[in-house]
Amino acid sequence: MRHLTIALLFTLLNSSLFAQSPENPDRQSVAVTIYNNDLGVVRDVRTFDIAKGMGELRMRDVPTRIDATTVKITDVDHPKDIDVVEQNYEYDLVSQSKLLSKYVDKTISVTDDKGIKTEGTLLAVESDKLTLSTASGIIMLPNLARYTMSVPTLAGGLITKPTLIWKIHSSHDFRKEPLEVLYQTGGMTWHTEYIAALADDEKSLDLTGWVSVDNTSGASFPDAKLKLVAGALHRVAQPKQYGAMRASMSALVPAPQFEEHGMFEYHVYDLGRQTNINNNEVKQISLLTADKVATEKNYTFEGGTSVAVTIAFQNAEANHLGIPLPMGTIRVMKRDKDGSLEFIGEDHIDHTPRDEKLTLHVGNAFDLTGSREVTNSESLGQNENEESVAITLKNHKDENVTIDAIENLGSNWEVTQSSMPYEKKNAYTIVFHVPVKARGEQKVTYTVRHRW
């Protein structure tokens, strides 16, 4: 009887006899649209030889995390001549235990690490354990790491890669017929990282944006047309997961910027060239560069003891920006005295339309502190009370600053006394713009009446 060792079988299973070449010679084109929420839409055009009548088509190298319920196959040139009768997605990939299970009730050979060979009928396979029926009785092998196994010639029904299988009916014979396969897959997402280099005078910044495309879908897409969609899509259910992959990192040098345009209620960023989207890879692509973006640096106090530092700028064309900014993290840098860029804080932004203002909370000021105290509180009746508040702001810097003291008063309020003017931001909030001299402090007091 002809036997093959387990090691040799797996070498064969991964050889070119079973695997499609990485260049995918039957692939005419592939386009991938990636969303923010673990979703990719793939349009894969491949050529097939199709015989007249009933037949079967197979497409390998599809993602392990494909949502098979979303697959749509279309004949590009002859849409009326081919009907898809049935579709199957085979994803139960071969492993040593699956391979051995094909030989239950068949004779196999086992050789231990001392060279002793045992032959018998395989009764059961369980994890890393085997049970054999031999001429001398039942043998149970609890640790397969000590053994080399030989089995009869290769069994059928083994799947080395996820495969889509269609039963089709064709009215004609076709050679190299292009079929478009459309499907959704999990394991694909993208996010944006921005670097903002703050000028020495802190009145402007240079902004660069990078898109990070993360592919853990279980498939690679060479020479793909890439689009990214920014927006909050409503989805009824997440795709079924067919396994997990580990991510690795690689970086791409700066490339041409994406072209942005609107689509429905979302924004699309279209890369104007083809790119490789490899499995288990994070690819970074240049998104934007904007210099001399005018900024404002502000200090805000909202209770506690810390004074927050914010950097604000307008996303406007007049301010050298004016494009929809995808959500992501903005990391702010500033040059030290020796000329090196140092990290001074970061914040996350949501999808930001053009002409909107962005305010980044980058940290708390080391040399500014504050305190807030309710100095008096009394009831004026069943549905009315009054309280007095004292805010003390201290500046340990060698320069004058202005600190915005923000007070959230709730609804239905009236300020009856105030030591300085305030700005009413909205129905619930007032702001005192408090000037504080260098090495000095400033106190603000006010009384507010609440009704309910």
pLDDT (0 to 100) of residue 144:
75
- Is 31 within the bounds of a domain? no
Taking the CB of residue 202, how many other CB atoms lie within 10 A of it?
Answer: 12
Half-sphere exposure of 127 (CA within 13 A, CB side): 3
Residue 311 clears pLDDT 50, i.e. is over it: yes
pLDDT digits (tens, 9 = 90+) for 107-117: 888 888 888 88
Number of independent structural domains in the chain: 2
- Is 77 within the bounds of a domain? no
Range of the domain at 403: 382-451
pLDDT (0 to 100) of residue 146:
80
* Boundary-marking domain end, from 118, 152, 186: 152
- Is 426 within the bounds of a domain? yes
- Is 188 within the bounds of a domain? no
* Boundary-marking domain end, from 152, 170, 194: 152
**Are the C-beta atoms of 156 and 98 separated by less than 8 Å?**
no
Task: Read off the CATH number of the domain in which 119 is found.
Answer: 2.30.30.100
Per the model's pLDDT, the better-predicted residue between 431 and 262 turns out to be 431
Instruction: Determine which helix (DSSP H) or strand (DSSP E) holds 360, and give its type and residue range.
Output: strand 357-381
Q: What angle is formed at CA 410 by the lines to CA 413 and CA 355, rounded to 5 degrees?
A: 110
pLDDT (0 to 100) of residue 110:
84
- Is 33 within the bounds of a domain? no
* Boundary-marking domain end, from 131, 152, 173: 152
Q: Which residue has the tokens 């910027």?
A: 257
pLDDT digits (tens, 9 = 90+) for 150-206: 766 655 555 567 888 899 999 999 999 999 999 999 999 999 999 999 999 999 999
pLDDT band at 272 (very low <50, low <70, confident <90, very high): confident
DSSP for 267-304, written as a single string: EEEEEEEEEEE-TTEEEEEEEEEEEEEEEEEEEEE-SS
pLDDT digits (tens, 9 = 90+) for 354-408: 999 999 999 999 999 999 999 999 998 889 999 999 999 999 999 999 999 999 9
- Is 425 within the bounds of a domain? yes
- Is 240 within the bounds of a domain? no
pLDDT digits (tens, 9 = 90+) for 339-360: 999 999 999 999 899 999 999 9
Q: Is the pTM of this model over 0.75?
A: no
- Is 141 within the bounds of a domain? yes
pLDDT digits (tens, 9 = 90+) for 133-155: 998 889 888 877 787 877 666 55
Task: Read off the CATH number of the domain in which 395 is found.
Answer: 2.60.40.290
What is the rounded average pLDDT of the residues 309-317?
A: 96
